[in-house]
A and B are shown apart, each in its own frame.
Chain A
Amino acid sequence: MIPDPIREGLARGWKAIDAASLARDRELEADVVVIGSGAGGGVTAEILAEAGLAVAIVEEGPLASSSEFHMREDTAYPRLYQECAGRKTADSAITILQGRCVGGSTTVNWTSSFRTPPRTLAHWHGALGLRTATEAALAPWFERMEERLGIAPWAVPPNENNDVLRRGCAALGLRSGVVPRNVRGCWNLGYCGMGCPINAKQSMLVTTIPAALDRGATLVHGARVERLRLAGDRVVACEAYGAGDAAARHRLRIRARHFVLAAGAIGSPAILLRSGAPDPNLATGRRTFLHPTVASAATMPQPVEGYSGAPQSVYCDHFLDAPLDGPAGFKLESAPVHPALAAVTLPGFGEGHARRMAAFPRMQVLIALIRDGFHPDSPGGRVRLRSDGSPALDYPITPYLWDAARRAWLAMAEIQFAAGASEVLALHEDAAPDLAWQLARRRIEGLALRPLAARVMSAHVMGGCAMGPEPRSSVVDEVGRHHQLENLSVHDGSIFPTSLGANPQLTIYALAARLATVLAADLHGRRGRSPV
């Protein structure tokens, strides 16, 4: 029997409230309200609770735990993802995978844990004036979170889906590396994206959130934060509603001395916009980045079984190793191959689609994450509110990014053929499988680059509440404090001023740890008490 740390904690008397089943309106009080329980909110909640502050964590999604993680797409996507893993940009051109559950995306991500690339930090420091964005300044925070979450390069041989990337790179003389993962006692199952059934993944669900709850924090789940109530330059309360039936839902109002937004790069700007937060320079929700991701599917002569084994264990940064002011770089990784995810991502329908699905066990998938936000031709997207108050993300794919998409399809196809692929298909509605690299190259060079034909995905939403020294062009300062609202901080990926060029969870962990530590000291100082 696999232990379930959440059910055990609840049995021990954790303070947890399911807002979806509230029988009446409720009022709560805390020192600090943390909105969101993902990478930023989880780390923040633990550090503030350890400092002796009364913390209330508010999460939109459900409190789901390993007892109900059955490695099934038909139960995991509806329960654990925003919009059943079918969230899209406003024009439907980019599919966005985002968690919506306690632990946020960390509960469902593929465990890749990279430090912020040095080149990215140098840009933040040099071009954007962020004094604290240096490798030396962040190193202790990376070390602390790597230790906390068991982050280390994956020591087990890669599964075949990843080994194709390794072999293909080796054959072409490109350097590849081993992905660091946040796991302890991993069974190499391959179902990280559906919630880890054995609690090996060191997500916020099984690490920082339980630690905060053990320290007396309150977790309100199934609660959608409607708005922050403002009075002058202060936030006085956070108002949330149960996520259940609109007619029967009840309101929860939480008062606190300080508020931390960690609702992700779509959720956090949306809450600020719904709250009418001061935004004199219209920076809120602007410059949203996605690492727009394109993919290439190979059919290998041998079994790949891309559903089995650590989903991401090999990466290639060769195509990121280029100046930031030139053509966009991209990071290459493998993507796990599960039936529904593969089916919605493969182009076509009918017999053609069925034929590709029939090769499912031999299917190998590479993805390219395009580094956006560093070049004037890559200004990112914008989170705005629809008439019903829900967030919409406008993200135009600029010619600059399309150029990178084409180079990425070429690079992936060449690597897949070099690793022995029988055929390769760029995931684009106008493409067809090719049997040799030269044929694939000609086809990819001729592909029309247009939205809703190329399959474009994102699992990394960043920016929209940029940190920066200048209130003119940013939303929060270098310690995450809102430029206009005195007792509001933002601790999540929305504070990135650009994308990263690497999977973002470890950067969010490290930044949140630093910001939360500063905040804890500050809150104690103001109250005249020394930190615990």
Chain B
Amino acid sequence: MATRRQFLKVGIAGAAVLLTVRAVERPLAAPVGAMRVLDPASARIVAALAPAVLAGALPPAGAAHDEAVRRVVEGFDRTMSLLAPVVRDEIGELLGLLRFGLSRVVLTGIWSPLDEASPVEIARFLAHWRASRFDLLRAGYLGLVQLMVGAWYAQPAAWGAIGYPGPPALDGPAPA
């Protein structure tokens, strides 16, 4: 596990990469398939992050788990499509950085592509971002996590586990 000192170095370099790449990278590629704004490679990054972000919330490995991850990616994409174009592009760029080898290693310390990384490795880099001194990394952490947890808990599949009965039925008589 990286020491705090090592991570600070990575953090500084990471912030620099983030700023540089933001300045040169082109906006999001055209949407494909069922997604509104996520390209397939970025959708795979979101799918790779979701099991770590929602550990303890998603169903255990199996068909239900895969379906849940698919829905999180879908919800992420939908919310992202409704954000201000500038913000949407920033998230797209961040996902791009997590895809691209050099920036991924600098920002996350993970040597393999993220969809081959373990949830433990992913949780470790998210925890580093969360505690980072750099506003940019904390903003990245918050943006990704909020889009994912919002996408999951907005749907009925998530409600049973937290004891939310869902909205009341309105077809009965009005309560006194």
Contact of B57 with A354 in the complex, beta carbons under 8 Å: yes
Contact of A74 with B83 in the complex, beta carbons under 8 Å: no
Contact of A70 with B167 in the complex, beta carbons under 8 Å: yes
Q: C-beta contact mask, A342-386 vs B, less than 8 Å → 1, else 0?
A: 111000111101110110110000000000000000000000001
A92 in contact with B142 given A74-B154, A388-B85, A390-B84 (CB within 8 Å):
yes
Contact of B84 with A83 in the complex, beta carbons under 8 Å: yes
CA distance A386 to B85 in the complex (A): 10
Majority SS at the chain A contact face: loop
Measured CB to CB, the nearest residue on chain B to A357 is: B162
Q: C-beta contact mask, B134-150 vs A, less than 8 Å → 1, else 0?
A: 01001100110111011
B-side contacts of A78, CB under 8 Å: 78-79, 82
Interface hits, B62-80 → A, CB 8 Å: 75, 78-79
CA distance A92 to B83 in the complex (A): 12
- Rounded to whole Å, the gap between the CB of A26 and the closest CB of chain B is 25
Does B99 make an interface contact (CB < 8 A)? Answer: no
Interface hits, A324-350 → B, CB 8 Å: 339-340, 342-344, 348-350
B-side contacts of A358, CB under 8 Å: 161-163
Interface size on A, residues (CB 8 A): 50
A357 in contact with B57 given A73-B154, A452-B138 (CB within 8 Å):
yes
Q: List 27 A-B contacts (CB under 8 A).
A: A71-B168, A74-B75, A77-B79, A84-B78, A84-B79, A86-B79, A86-B147, A86-B150, A87-B83, A87-B84, A91-B139, A93-B135, A93-B139, A198-B174, A339-B159, A340-B154, A343-B149, A349-B52, A349-B126, A350-B52, A354-B56, A355-B56, A357-B57, A392-B86, A429-B131, A451-B135, A452-B142
Chain A interface residues (CB < 8 Å from chain B): 2, 70-74, 77-78, 83-84, 86-88, 91-93, 185, 187-189, 191, 197-198, 307-308, 339-340, 342-344, 348-351, 353-355, 357-358, 360-361, 386, 388, 390, 392, 429-430, 451-453
Add 13 more A-B contacts to A349-B149, A357-B161 (CB < 8 A): A74-B75, A83-B87, A87-B84, A91-B139, A92-B143, A185-B174, A342-B153, A348-B130, A358-B162, A360-B162, A360-B164, A386-B86, A388-B85
Chain B interface residues (CB < 8 Å from chain A): 52-57, 75, 78-79, 82-87, 123, 126, 130-131, 135, 138-139, 142-143, 145-147, 149-150, 152-155, 158-159, 161-164, 167-168, 170, 174-175
